[in-house]
């Protein structure tokens, strides 16, 4: 099976990267077919074109990959931190050098606009490796004692919304702390993880330190249940997260879960309206709203509601929806037919329950999975669109009169991942941040990420933190 993605020099289009007709699993430093010979196809969500065929890992492959990671752990964990750091720096630099290829590949496989993969995903991925390279030889100063130990083999299961970035969030801290990894990317977005395997080879990473098993939920389930695994890290739906928590319960495996969200973006009457509109758009239409920390609920102070909604509708009418490889595109395709069906069902429930639906006039391509940016007004807290994670470009607007009411409504959720506060008053920002039950509170901005800053949730949004010094704890025996 051909493992390579070839560089094809060309203008920014799909021709930048040559995708081979098939790819194997990456185990013990080499690409190989699945033991059972099974494969699956991955399609481009914006065209429904089959991109390539990928090996489907079964239980036997999980055994082989975990054994490879176990063998590699002995020498990888014994390397001085400064030596592990060199590999992480090398990986970060190769990602920067190959970021055009990776951005196009991610956009093809995921459907998100190239402007986002190029300007957000890829720089953040490289930054995450650079940041953790810096930690590898300073773990004794991370506040977890003089000689913190790695855990062993980490099983990592990631979703499709930020395929390579979620890989970076998982792999970089694990490796910096001296663990080895078996990672399962989502079924609909396996390609950037396989490209990353190639990056590991290029960086000369010792074999078995990173293993990539492509497959579906059954592959993920077999991996997290495997007795040779010491650590489980999962990002995805709350339903699967709960299942994994049950699997891991009673074992000695350390677990971190990063699950769903229903973020409140709270706009006070003294906020600069144009800036807030940009933040709302970025909060819910970035990555087609398929973001766990999306600002999917807009809470706006009653006195500025009409003005804000007028400005928001005007702004949404300028968004370009369509070909994600076009640099001018703002909103790309939904990742899969299944996700499109979920979004459609929930949006329809909003209308059925009496909320008012609005979308700008926009022509959606005929092929592929598309959903127009949508705003619901007249939403009450009882509506499903105010309570359930839609994971799509759908904004639910509620209003409030007082800060107390805003806090009560924002916290009235099973989730507690993110929130945004828009106001000119610094004291109000601090007061609100202290009262909001959300792992991340942005002030006069939204969806800003930084590897130095710990990210994670309260309540059913999961537990454990990723990023920053706190994120190291998930990969150390402290
Ligand atoms: P999940 O099913 O949770 O998928 C996440 C990852 O877990 C994928 O790699 C998936 O594999 C794997 N997986 C599925 N079942 C598993 C099991 N029983 N044991 C171990 N791993 C398993 O998410 P989804 O179906 O893609 O999306 C469903 C909903 O989840 C979305 O509508 C959204 O609300 C939410 N979601 C949240 C996030 C974040 S960042 N919080 C990200 C994605 C989705 P396959 O994909 O290959 O089946």
- Residue 5: pLDDT band (50, 70, 90) is confident
pLDDT for position 8: 67
Cβ-contact 61, 213 below 8 angstroms: yes
Query: Is the Cβ atom of 170 under 6 angstroms away from ligand 1?
Result: no
For residue 147, the CA-to-ligand 1 centroid distance in Å is: 35
- Residue 1: pLDDT band (50, 70, 90) is very low
pLDDT for position 452: 96
As beta bridge partners, residue 154 has: 181, 231
Task: Report the C-alpha gap between 298 and 399 in whole angstroms.
Answer: 8
Task: Report the C-alpha gap between 478 and 476 in whole angstroms.
Answer: 6
The helix or strand, by DSSP H or E, that contains position 379, with its residue range, turns out to be none
Catalytic one among 258, 460, 466, 473? Answer: 258
* Number of Cβ within a 10 Å radius of residue 78: 9
Q: Does the pLDDT value for residue 125 go beyond 70? A: yes
Who contacts 403 (Cβ-Cβ below 8 Å, separation ≥6)?
268, 428, 431, 432
Answer positive or negative: Cα dihedral of 382, 386, 388, 394.
positive
Cβ-contact 225, 250 below 8 angstroms: no
| Domains of the chain, start order | 14-259+461-475 (3.40.605.10), 264-443 (3.40.309.10)
For residue 269, the CA-to-ligand 1 centroid distance in Å is: 38
At 124 the three-state DSSP class reads helix
Query: Is the Cβ atom of 289 under 6 angstroms away from ligand 1?
Result: no
pLDDT for position 180: 99
Q: Does the pLDDT value for residue 54 go beyond 50? A: yes
Cβ-contact 313, 375 below 8 angstroms: yes
Quick: pLDDT tens for 275-286: 999 999 999 999
Task: Report the C-alpha gap between 370 and 40 in whole angstroms.
Answer: 23
pLDDT for position 12: 52
Q: Which two tokens stand for residue 356?
A: 């008012």
pLDDT for position 200: 98
Cβ-contact 233, 159 below 8 angstroms: no
Instruction: Select the more confidently predicted residue: 343 or 4.
Output: 343
Quick: pLDDT tens for 343-396: 999 999 999 999 999 999 999 999 999 999 999 999 999 999 999 999 999 999
**Mutational test site, ligand 1, from 55, 163, 190, 217, max ligand atoms within 8 Å of CB:** 217
At 211 the three-state DSSP class reads strand
Q: Does the pLDDT value for residue 3 go beyond 60? A: no
Respond yes or no: is residue 292 known to be catalytic. yes
Q: Does the pLDDT value for residue 326 go beyond 80? A: yes
Cβ-contact 203, 133 below 8 angstroms: no
- Residue 139: pLDDT band (50, 70, 90) is very high
The helix or strand, by DSSP H or E, that contains position 408, with its residue range, turns out to be helix 403-411
Q: Does the pLDDT value for residue 300 go beyond 90? A: yes
Cβ-contact 103, 125 below 8 angstroms: no
pLDDT for position 4: 72
Cβ-contact 350, 383 below 8 angstroms: yes
Between strands 374-377 and 394-400, the pairing is parallel
Across the chain, mean pLDDT equals 96
Q: Comparing 64-78, 105-119, 166-180, 453-467, which segment has the lowest mean pLDDT? A: 453-467
For the chain, the distance separating the N- and C-terminal CA atoms, rounded to the nearest angstrom, is 42
**Mutational test site, ligand 1, from 43, 223, 236, max ligand atoms within 8 Å of CB:** 236
For a pLDDT cut of 70, what percent of the chain falls above it? 98
Query: Is the Cβ atom of 200 under 6 angstroms away from ligand 1?
Result: no
Query: Is the Cβ atom of 159 under 6 angstroms away from ligand 1?
Result: yes
ipTM above 0.90, yes or no: yes
For residue 167, the CA-to-ligand 1 centroid distance in Å is: 14
Q: Does the pLDDT value for residue 83 go beyond 90? A: yes
For residue 460, the CA-to-ligand 1 centroid distance in Å is: 15
Q: Looking at residues 292-307, what average pLDDT do you find?
A: 98
For residue 322, the CA-to-ligand 1 centroid distance in Å is: 25
Our CA dihedral for 260, 120, 256, 82, rounded to 10 degrees, sits at 180
Query: Is the Cβ atom of 217 under 6 angstroms away from ligand 1?
Result: yes
H helix intervals, 38-160: 59-78, 81-97, 99-110, 114-116, 122-135
Cβ-contact 46, 25 below 8 angstroms: no
Q: Looking at residues 214-230, what average pLDDT do you find?
A: 98
Task: Report the C-alpha gap between 476 and 151 in whole angstroms.
Answer: 6
Catalytic one among 101, 116, 200, 292? Answer: 292
Q: Does the pLDDT value for residue 466 go beyond 80? A: yes
Q: Work out the angle between the directed axes of helices 59-78 and 217-225 (0-180°, nearest 10).
A: 50
Query: Is the Cβ atom of 259 under 6 angstroms away from ligand 1?
Result: yes
Q: Does the pLDDT value for residue 10 go beyond 90? A: no
- Residue 408: pLDDT band (50, 70, 90) is very high
Q: Does the pLDDT value for residue 331 go beyond 90? A: yes
Query: Is the Cβ atom of 216 under 6 angstroms away from ligand 1?
Result: yes
């Amino acid at each position: 099976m051909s493992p390579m993605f070839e560089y094809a020099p060309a203008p920014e289009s799909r021709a930048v990267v040559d995708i081979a007709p098939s790819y194997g699993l990456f185990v013990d430093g080499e690409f190989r077919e699945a033991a059972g010979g099974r494969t699956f196809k991955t399609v481009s969500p914006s065209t429904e074109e089959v991109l390539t065929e990928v090996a489907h890992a079964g239980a036997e492959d999980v055994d082989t990959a975990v054994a490879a990671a176990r063998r590699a752990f002995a020498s990888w964990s014994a390397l001085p931190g400064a030596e592990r750091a060199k590999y992480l720096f090398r990986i970060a630099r190769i990602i920067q050098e190959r970021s055009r290829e990776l951005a196009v590949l991610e956009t093809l496989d995921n459907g998100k606009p190239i402007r986002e993969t190029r300007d957000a995903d890829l720089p953040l991925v490289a930054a995450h490796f650079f940041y953790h390279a810096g930690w590898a030889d300073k773990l004794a100063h991370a506040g977890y004692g003089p000689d913190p130990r790695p855990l062993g083999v980490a099983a990592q299961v990631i979703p499709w919304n930020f395929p390579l970035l979620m890989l970076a969030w998982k792999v970089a801290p694990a490796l910096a702390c001296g663990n080895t990894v078996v990672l399962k990317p989502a079924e609909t977005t396996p390609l950037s993880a396989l490209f990353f395997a190639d990056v590991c080879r290029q960086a000369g990473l010792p074999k078995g330190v990173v293993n990539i098993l492509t497959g579906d939920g059954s592959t993920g389930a077999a991996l997290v249940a495997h007795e040779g695994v010491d650590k489980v890290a999962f990002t995805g739906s709350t339903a699967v997260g709960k299942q994994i928590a049950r699997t891991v319960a009673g074992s000695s495996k350390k677990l971190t879960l990063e699950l769903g969200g229903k973020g409140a973006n709270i706009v006070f009457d003294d906020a600069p309206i144009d800036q807030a509109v940009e933040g709302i758009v970025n909060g819910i239409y970035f990555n087609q709203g398929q973001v766990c920390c999306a600002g999917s609920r807009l809470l706006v102070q009653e006195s500025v509601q009409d003005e804000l909604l007028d400005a928001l509708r005007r702004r949404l009418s300028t968004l370009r929806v369509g070909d994600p490889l076009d640099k001018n595109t703002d909103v790309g395709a939904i990742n899969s037919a299944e996700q499109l069906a979920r979004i459609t069902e929930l949006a329809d429930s909003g209308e059925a329950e009496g909320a008012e639906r609005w979308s700008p006039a926009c022509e959606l391509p005929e092929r592929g999975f598309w959903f127009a940016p949508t705003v619901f007004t007249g939403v009450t807290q009882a509506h499903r669109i105010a309570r359930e994670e839609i994971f799509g470009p759908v904004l639910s607007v509620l209003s409030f009169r007082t800060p107390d009411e805003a806090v009560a409504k924002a916290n009235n959720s099973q989730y507690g991942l993110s929130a945004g506060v828009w106001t000119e008053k610094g004291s109000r920002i601090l007061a609100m941040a202290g009262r909001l039950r959300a792992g991340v509170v942005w002030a006069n901005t939204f969806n800003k990420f930084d590897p130095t800053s710990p990210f994670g949730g309260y309540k059913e949004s999961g537990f454990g933190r990723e990023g920053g010094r706190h994120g190291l704890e998930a990969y150390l025996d402290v």
